[in-house]
Amino acid sequence: MTSSSYSFSFDEKQIKKLKDIIIQKGFELSPLDHGLFRAKTKGTVIQAYKTGKILVQGKEALEFAQNVIEPEILGKVSIGYEEVLHPEYFEAHAGIDECGKGDLFGPLVVAAVFVDKQSARLFIDEGIKDSKRFNSTNRIFELASLIKKKTDYALFSLSPWRYNDLYEKKFRNLNLLLAWAHASAFQKLLHIRPDCPKVLCDRFAKPWVLEQSFKKMGIHHELEQMTKAESDPAVAAASLLARATFLEELSKLSKEVGFSLPKGASAKTAELAKEIFLKNGKQTLRKVAKMHFKTIQKILIESQS
């Protein structure tokens, strides 16, 4: 029997359950550099990392994964069956996803990622999934770096200033702007991968909205829109790339304006937007925030009263 390697992404509860199980099974536990623990028994070595990544290796790794991890921790069968259950994951295609549309501060970033059978398999094995399922920023950056090394991709980023300009002067509608940005990202990818036959993205509006943007750009590839498209490895990879890029650019903006710009659109972000406006004025606020958000409009109205 040859040595095998399997990778999983666990949350804190799943890691604790795994540790309890391997202690019961008599695994030898030891510290792991930059990780949580290393567990070893005859034929199987398990390494648990702070990012939530779990690596199972050895001659009996498959047996442990199928007999312990799947039924006792994951509660589902997945290893070796993805190509049977979801053959579409392994067909050559692109996935598109965005980050930043719901964040008051920072850019709108759209990523388009190409996968084929080999890269799809790698991404699934490495635990690549929707960026919202990761609590660790380091893990997001780690996986984004892997994606960039292993496949072709394109990034289309709109700074808040450019975003505001386009929203106010051209689109006046978030879904129309999003559709244009998605089509622009895929168009960039086609310059690198003109052989890409089809594209998948999350459904964020009525299908005709994105279809129309593609046609206006002269893109006539097969386009599929579906809810929860992040289950597909190409879209999941795009989600991670878009998130990593958004975080990088948000950090740069924070340094430029001298304020630590938070993610999201909470009361905290509204308070900071008001502070930036009062201290530095509307033009500085336009450089870091999406001006059509209701919280921004409220700040501007209040300043006139």
Residue 70, annotated ligand binder? no
Q: Closest Cα to residue 208, out of 225, 227, 222?
A: 225
In eight-state DSSP terms, residue 66 is: I
How many residues does this entry show for the chain?
A: 305
In eight-state DSSP terms, residue 27 is: P
H or E stretch including 6?
A: strand 4-9
C-beta separation of 183 from 205 below 8 A: no
Q: Closest Cα to residue 210, out of 92, 93, 97, 86?
A: 97
C-beta separation of 249 from 106 below 8 A: yes
Q: Which residue has the tokens 């770096």?
A: 145
Residue 91, annotated ligand binder? no
Alpha carbon 292 to chain centroid, angstroms: 25
Residue 28, annotated ligand binder? no
H or E stretch including 119?
A: helix 117-125
Binding region: 97-98, 202
Binding region for a divalent metal cation: 97-98, 202
